[in-house]
């Protein structure tokens, strides 16, 4: 049985939830169907299901997506900053410990959870799944 938009946005009690944009739910860790329940059980660990609408999060598999985006858009610029600081000023090691290290940690840890939430919510909203060959 294929899942339609109607069944995807209807919970077990028959309530039909309005379609919420992934940008309104995922980055805030909210359930992509109801927008009220919580998506995460830990910092990056997904819950089994939404406590409000019962959406099963077993479909969610963002794989390396969040790590890739964090590396490309925040981690690389932070490393370039550390390298440029070393090349231009050649400061003592303690300067890197109070500038480069916190910058690297903040730019890698802070965006991971909102990015993972956004990708999981986008998977639900756009019904993204593994590709299959027709007729197989
Ligand atoms: Zn929910």
Q: What is the pLDDT of residues 8-58, one digit of tens each?
A: 888 888 888 999 999 999 999 999 999 999 999 999 999 999 999 999 998
Cα 2-65-69 angle, rounded to 5 deg: 140
CA separation, residue 126 to residues 36, 120, 121 (Å): 19, 10, 9
What spacing in Å lies between the alpha carbon of 27 and ligand 1's midpoint? 15
What spacing in Å lies between the alpha carbon of 26 and ligand 1's midpoint? 12
Total-model pTM: 0.82
What spacing in Å lies between the alpha carbon of 11 and ligand 1's midpoint? 8
């Amino acid at each position: 049985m294929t899942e339609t938009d109607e069944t995807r946005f209807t919970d077990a009690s028959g309530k039909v939830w309005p379609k919420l944009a992934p940008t309104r739910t995922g980055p805030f860790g909210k359930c992509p169907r109801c927008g009220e329940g919580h998506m995460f059980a830990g910092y990056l660990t997904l819950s089994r299901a939404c406590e409000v609408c019962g959406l099963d999060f077993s479909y969610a598999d963002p794989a390396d997506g969040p790590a890739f985006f964090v590396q490309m858009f925040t981690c690389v610029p932070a490393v370039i900053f550390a390298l440029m600081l070393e090349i231009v000023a050649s400061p003592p090691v303690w300067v890197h410990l109070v500038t480069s290290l916190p910058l690297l940690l903040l730019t890698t840890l802070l965006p991971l959870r909102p990015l993972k939430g956004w990708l999981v919510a986008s998977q639900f909203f756009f019904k993204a799944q593994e590709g299959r060959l027709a007729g197989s």
